[in-house]
Amino acid sequence: MTHGPRPVVLATGNAHKVDEVGDILGPGWVVSAQDPDVEETGTTFEENALLKARAVCEATGDLAVADDSGIEIDALDRRPGIHSARWTEESDWIPRVLRELDGVAGERRSGRYVAAAAAVWPDGREVVVRGVVEGHVPDAPRGSGGFGYDPIFVPVEGDGRTFAEMSADEKHDLSHRGRAFRALVEHLA
């Protein structure tokens, strides 16, 4: 018996994430989205991802997945971390990082993108995994692709370009979210 693509509900109100997660999971999945409308009260990326996935699973009765992700910058004591989407207005995310790193040079501009991806099934099963990519913050934003902090994140494993300078496929191959959701899909099968 042949089965078609399986449905999964992504707990997000971010259209960029729907497209990105759909691309990462591939043609075996049909990704819809629902805003989890839940306060992110966790102290880790994993706790926040589970909060969102639980809320959407409960609301829909379907398999729900969620992620919580952010950038940790070593010279800023790993800030903004779990507060990446809330530490300042979105229009100030990149300018604030660059202001706070003013005068910080070279290796001290290191950091990482972190993503925790969670799945929650209606029967109560839960799984959460983590994806990390190390990199650094350049002196100025570069590129117009991606979203969020992508114009100021250069992955160590890349070729010197920011995520915003890469095609979607190139980014997914290296990204924290790509790593987390590829690890998660092994648990969904």
Could you tell me which residues come within 8 angstroms of residue 135 by beta carbon, excluding any fewer than 6 positions away?
110, 111, 112, 113, 153, 154, 155, 156, 158
Could you tell me which residues come within 8 angstroms of residue 76 by beta carbon, excluding any fewer than 6 positions away?
97, 100, 101
**pLDDT for residue 116:** 98
Q: Summarize pLDDT for 93-130 with one digit per residue, the tens.
A: 999 999 999 999 988 999 999 999 999 999 999 999 99
Computed on alpha carbons and rounded to an integer, the radius of gyration of the chain in Å comes to 17
Of the candidates 180, 171, 126, the one whose C-alpha atom is nearest the C-alpha of residue 145 is 171
Please report whether residue 162 resides in a domain. Answer: yes
The CATH number of whichever domain residue 69 belongs to comes to 3.90.950.10
How many domains does the structure of the chain reveal? 1
Cis previous bond, 80, omega within 30: yes
85 pLDDT more than 60: yes
**pLDDT for residue 2:** 52
84 pLDDT more than 90: yes
Burial of 92 from C-beta contacts in 10 A (0-12 / 13-18 / 19+) = exposed
C-alpha 187/C-alpha 125 separation (Å) is 11
Q: What are phi and psi of 80, to 5 degrees?
A: -80, -15
Residues assigned a catalytic role: 68
1 pLDDT more than 60: no
Q: What residues make up the domain containing 19? A: 6-188
Q: What is the mean pLDDT of residues 61-85?
A: 96
C-alpha 28/C-alpha 145 separation (Å) is 25
- Residues 176, 135: contact at Cβ < 8 Å? no
Please report whether residue 1 resides in a domain. Answer: no
Q: What is the mean pLDDT of residues 168-188?
A: 93
**pLDDT for residue 20:** 84
3-state SS class at 188: helix
Q: What is the mean pLDDT of residues 130-144?
A: 97
What percentage of residues in the chain have a pLDDT greater than 90? 85
